[in-house]
Amino acid sequence: MTTDLVDLIGQLEHEHVEVRAALARVGELPAGADLAVLTATLDEVAAVLVAGLDQHSAAEDTVLFPALGEGLGAVAETFAAEHVDIRAWRDQLYQAATISERLAAGAELRGLLHAHMEREENMLFPSARAVLGAGG
Ligand SMILES: [Fe+2]
Ligand SMILES: [Fe+2]
């Protein structure tokens, strides 16, 4: 069980690398890109930013955080709440009616998700490894 969780943390860290690459693709769109260009880019990164991100945050919410229990206290609730916001901005990025709404959602998503992943990597995952006795 503990070994599985330590492996899961490693997998989550690897997925962060993929998410950063996908966010960079969205962030590097040329100024004045139209909806067709944006949609094509979003399609290319959908495996990471839609299904992948949903699975990723679900694994954190339903497997990692509950397994750590009291070890992380209220910190896990903060991360879980951020997952809700992250998915909402991601949905806006993919579904909003206008390009300006989508680009604004993309900017919000990038800012929130980068900060979120950084805190997971610098604080949450090391604490989780310590709780699991796997070192920090
Ligand atoms: Fe997360
Ligand atoms: Fe994560």
Domain ranges for the chain: 2-131
| Choices 3.40.50.2000, 1.10.760.10, 1.20.120.520, 3.40.50.300: CATH for 2-131 | 1.20.120.520
Q: How many CA atoms lie within 13 A of 111 on its CB side?
A: 7
pLDDT band of residue 40 (cuts 50, 70, 90) is very high
The alpha carbon of 77 and the centre of ligand 1 are apart by a number of angstroms equal to 11
The alpha carbon of 23 and the centre of ligand 1 are apart by a number of angstroms equal to 15
Contact 112, 89 (CB under 8 A): yes
The alpha carbon of 53 and the centre of ligand 1 are apart by a number of angstroms equal to 9
As a whole number, mean pLDDT of residues 20-43 equals: 92
**Higher pLDDT, residue 94 or 32:** 94
What is the chain's alpha carbon radius of gyration, rounded to the nearest angstrom?
Answer: 16
pLDDT for 44-92, tens place per residue? 999 999 999 999 999 999 999 998 877 777 888 899 999 999 999 999 9
Distance (Å) of CA 116 to CA 32, 41, 81:
28, 23, 11
Q: What is the pLDDT of residue 57?
A: 98
pLDDT band of residue 43 (cuts 50, 70, 90) is very high
CA angle 29, 31, 37 (to 5 degrees): 45
Please tell me the number of the ligand nearest to residue 79's CA.
Answer: 1
The alpha carbon of 45 and the centre of ligand 1 are apart by a number of angstroms equal to 18
The alpha carbon of 111 and the centre of ligand 2 are apart by a number of angstroms equal to 14
pLDDT band of residue 18 (cuts 50, 70, 90) is very high
Has this prediction a pTM greater than 0.75?
A: yes
